[in-house]
Chains A and B, each alone.
Chain A
């Protein structure tokens, strides 16, 4: 039996195959500091697919669709495993949505969305590598330009 590098949880969610450098960003998206149940965060784990990867295990939590969408933007290879009674009852890969509203900030300081009280909107024009176009100013953003709010 393969030895686990990070302890298992009985109930909750495991986010695996996180791009190594995005591990703490994902932890921030999930607001892990405020979770009262067990949270395990590990990075620099070996991965055939990514070379190095991060993994986050959160006891007693199910992700919202918005959290999944946010994770997809900074860790597009991530997989989400729902755990019940120590068994994986559901597993899926995050899917980058075609359009994004509200939870992202345009990186262009002169964009109208950063000056008026409006909901930011973006169109995903390429998923691998990720390229996102602001609905308003039409500037393109890559993974390094993404600022989640």
Chain B
């Protein structure tokens, strides 16, 4: 019997295949069943040391839909951090105000440090260029909805694979499900060697290429990521690679792809996906974004012990 009560959600590496499938199953239940009171009396603290409107609001919406309440902040300037307080002290104090902490931070590993410091569940809502596990559960759920199953798929990852934390986490998660992975990026934005090593340890079949045309015909899923301006120290480096990996309806018409290929993207997009794609059968990204609520409901309800 799987129970995720009191489990921290820090890294997809912490989850077994069975636990991932369990969360997807609960997510499907959350999408079809109304559970307005299962988190009544519970308080979630949204601690956003780095801005992210979408992720913060989706956690807030998920918590409120299940009857819980939300406190928190979304900018560093209002916190005691600017007075020099350590992260550990901050979260140990906030622990007394709430039942669960959702944390976004600009330092990699901040969520793990928080989880080690407090006795309540901690959810990593993105720390630096590291992992973003709840987005990964959203991505997996969207893939399952699109394909019916997440086993044995050929999945392409396109764009910024160096800094794109959602791509890192998704690749780890799919390693449980016998996926063939194709990493499509410019050389300067390749998947970091750490992640490649971890995939090799897990026996994943993968290929790194620079052009989507080289692998497009094999793909069941194409996972696009934004080239993130804020991750570049030099603007000139950003300008060099932006727009290199654009998708549009006309480009898809030219590529050799499977009819049932689905395109996912964690959003927001900039140049990498033209709006002409939105009306095609390939586009899955808006449904994917809408999956954010039931998946986060499932995660919150599971770790707070509200799922029997």
B-binding residues in A (CB < 8 A): 108, 110-113, 115-118, 125-126, 131, 134-140
Contact = CB atoms under 8 A, between A and B. Distances in A.
A118 B113 contact: yes
Contacts of B194: 138-140
B71 interface: no
A138 B107 contact: no
A116 B198 CA distance: 27
B78 interface: no
Given A116-B113, A137-B130, A138-B194, 18 more contacts: A108-B108, A110-B107, A110-B108, A110-B128, A110-B129, A111-B109, A112-B107, A112-B113, A113-B109, A117-B86, A125-B201, A135-B112, A137-B112, A137-B128, A138-B13, A138-B108, A138-B130, A140-B194
- Closest A-B pairs by Cβ, 10 of them: A136-B109, A137-B108, A137-B109, A140-B194, A112-B109, A112-B107, A112-B110, A136-B112, A110-B108, A110-B128
B216 interface: no
Contacts of A134: 109
Interface string B73-92: 00000000000001110000
B11 interface: yes
Interface in B129-163: 129-131
Nearest to B10: A138
A118 B109 CA distance: 12
A7 B88 CA distance: 52
B113 to A, nearest CB: 5
A118 B86 CA distance: 10
Contacts of A139: 108, 194
Interface of B: 11, 13, 86-88, 105-110, 112-113, 127-131, 193-194, 197-198, 201
- Main SS of the interface on chain A? loop
Contacts of B113: 112-113, 116, 118, 136
A120 B169 CA distance: 23
A68 B201 CA distance: 28
Contact of B108 (A112, A131, A140): A112
Nearest to A108: B108
Contacts, number: 59
Contacts of B110: 112, 136
30 contacts: A110-B106, A110-B129, A111-B107, A112-B87, A112-B107, A112-B108, A112-B110, A112-B112, A112-B127, A113-B113, A115-B107, A116-B86, A116-B87, A116-B88, A116-B107, A117-B86, A126-B201, A135-B109, A135-B112, A136-B108, A136-B110, A137-B108, A137-B130, A138-B13, A138-B109, A138-B130, A138-B194, A139-B194, A140-B193, A140-B194
Nearest to A117: B86
B131 A138 contact: yes
Interface centre among B109, B112, B129, by most chain A C-beta atoms within 10 angstroms, is: B109
Nearest to B114: A112
Interface centre among A126, A135, A139, by most chain B C-beta atoms within 10 angstroms, is: A139
Contacts of A138: 11, 13, 108-109, 130-131, 194
Contacts of A136: 108-110, 112-113
B198 A140 contact: yes
Nearest to A141: B194
A117 B86 CA distance: 8
Nearest to B112: A136
A126 B86 CA distance: 33
A116 B128 CA distance: 15
Nearest to B168: A138
Contacts of A111: 107-109
B131 A118 contact: no
A112 to B, nearest CB: 4
